[in-house]
Amino acid sequence: MLKSDTYKIVFKQIGSLFILQGIVMAIPAIVALIYHEGYSVAGFVGSALFTSGLGFFLYQKYFQAEDPQYNHAFIIAAAGWLAITFLGGLPLFVIAYITPAEIMNQFIPSGSDYAISSLVYFKNPLHCFFESMSAYTTTGLTMAIHEPSVGKGILFYRSLAQWVGGAGFIVMVLAIFKQRSGQSAMLLFGVESTGEKLKTKVIETARAIWKVYLLLTIFSAVYLFIGTSLILPDYPLGENIFDSINHAMTGQSTGGFSTLDDSIAGYNSPFMDMLYLLPMILGSFSIPFFYKFIFEKKFSELWKDIQTRSLIIAFVGGSAVLSFLLYKADVVSEPVREGTFQFISAMSTTGWQTSNIGNWDWLSILFVVGAAMFVGGASGATVGGIKMIRALVIKKGLFWQVKKAFFSEHTIKVVKFNGKSLSSAEMNEEFTKAASLAIIFLLMIIVSSVVATFFIGSDYDFFDALFEATSAQATVGLSSGICEPGMSPVLESIYIFQMWAGRLEIIPVLALIRAIFLGTVLWKH
């Protein structure tokens, strides 16, 4: 069992997370007010007051708790993210229950071929938890079958949750709430953020991350607004502004929630597909890279940075291969268009969709799973997967293991990686850590896929289950069609767990489970 001191430390940090989450919940009330969605306003305001109130209570009650130690940081990250994603579903649940059916159905766009608002599905608490987990972990799988029918307020809330979750709630807390110990701040930063320190102090690094993140999001919003205006001049101005802001947030966070019924395919334009490639690519690059590129004027980083360079090569090569596979399988009408968009969407773990992946052949699905979603984008970005840097470490490590077998015993065994010289022991350590996480990651996907075969309909096979499990685990959000309101609650719960574990790169979640059953040992560092 967890010690009482550990509870106090964890609850204090969770309290600060709830305070900020309440603010996040309140902001969509403004959007709902603009669009005259009165019940949504009430739902957001009530949920915000409850969440922030609970946060203030916990923060004040345990204010004198000790600073987190190394093992506490993992527990705080896992428990904190589970808590905020659980409460994150509260506005959805409240709004779904207090909104009359006739008002819900007014959200349905005129001319639509469906008659029931998807808001009704959020009367199921498990669906609310799923949607919130998918939002805050920047996954993008959804229980809202017809997104426009849930109202503008909820659409904005989903996008905002992805945007905030992308940079990280703990990073936001560090940027706002001053920690009494710099060491504690560093521990909390390290367990949630996989990027390098940008400043001497962790708090300054957290603020720099949000500065870069906000700047990129504003750029994407302006870029999408101008691009949409040029490509679709008849598209309503109000809808263009709303779409651009929401898609800028979900693109930069590589979350992939959309304001449209069929994601980016809803635009029915190959030029819009091309327009949306850039936000996904930008979202897959690391924040430290952008900081050096934008603020330190190190333009050579575009090719010098090993992750950025590798991603550019992977985007080009992978898109070509997937397009060829789809062409050979003859399963889509425009293999180059769909192959390029879906590979970049998968590898950036954004999850915007322009193709019916449920109709793809098994080889194309397997390629996307292994070459794109499993790997993901850059460490230090908002992406999922094992991260590009680990894939490169594993590749380098494998070659190193073979190469060193041919060295003489007097050879000085040094390996160069990412501009650094590593000793044999250091290379082995990096290789072991990267390979271990990749193996755990893969095992969880396989177990989920096997279990899923007992709960999916006859229209789906193992490869569909594999695709869906990888999408949840790597926080991608692309779907073969398995994730929908009628899915098995068992499978829905498994995907919730996978999204949670995938966002935190598994170890913090395992640490929390271990702490619950075996307790904690307070290590002094």
Q: What is the pLDDT of residues 366-406, one digit of tens each?
A: 999 999 999 999 998 889 999 999 999 999 888 877 877 77
The answer to whether residue 92 sits within a structural domain is yes
Mean pLDDT of the 69-78 span: 81
Number of domains observed in the structure of the chain: 1
Distance CA(56)–CA(65), nearest Å, equals 15
Q: What is the pLDDT of residues 285-324, one digit of tens each?
A: 999 899 999 999 999 999 999 999 999 999 999 999 999 9
The SS3 call for residue 488 is: coil
Q: What is the pLDDT of residues 164-195, one digit of tens each?
A: 998 876 666 666 655 555 555 566 666 655 55
Q: Write down the pLDDT at residue 522.
A: 45
The answer to whether residue 99 sits within a structural domain is yes
The answer to whether residue 370 sits within a structural domain is no
Mean pLDDT of the 434-452 span: 95
Mean pLDDT for all residues in the chain? 90
Q: What is the pLDDT of residues 321-337, one digit of tens each?
A: 999 999 999 999 999 99
Q: What is the pLDDT of residues 223-272, one digit of tens each?
A: 999 999 999 999 999 999 999 999 999 999 999 999 999 999 999 999 99
The SS3 call for residue 414 is: strand
Distance CA(188)–CA(504), nearest Å, equals 12
Mean pLDDT of the 501-515 span: 89
What is the DSSP secondary structure assignment for residue 36, as one 8-state letter?
T
The answer to whether residue 8 sits within a structural domain is yes
The answer to whether residue 129 sits within a structural domain is yes
The answer to whether residue 167 sits within a structural domain is yes
Q: Write down the pLDDT at residue 352.
A: 97
The strand pair at 414-417 and 420-423 is best described as antiparallel
Q: Write down the pLDDT at residue 401.
A: 77
Domain extent, residue 114, equals 1-193
What is the DSSP secondary structure assignment for residue 292, as one 8-state letter?
I
Q: Is the pLDDT of residue 72 over 90?
A: no
Q: Is the pLDDT of residue 6 over 90?
A: no
* Cα dihedral 442, 85, 377, 256 sign: positive
* Cα dihedral 104, 248, 390, 423 sign: negative
The answer to whether residue 401 sits within a structural domain is no
The answer to whether residue 439 sits within a structural domain is no
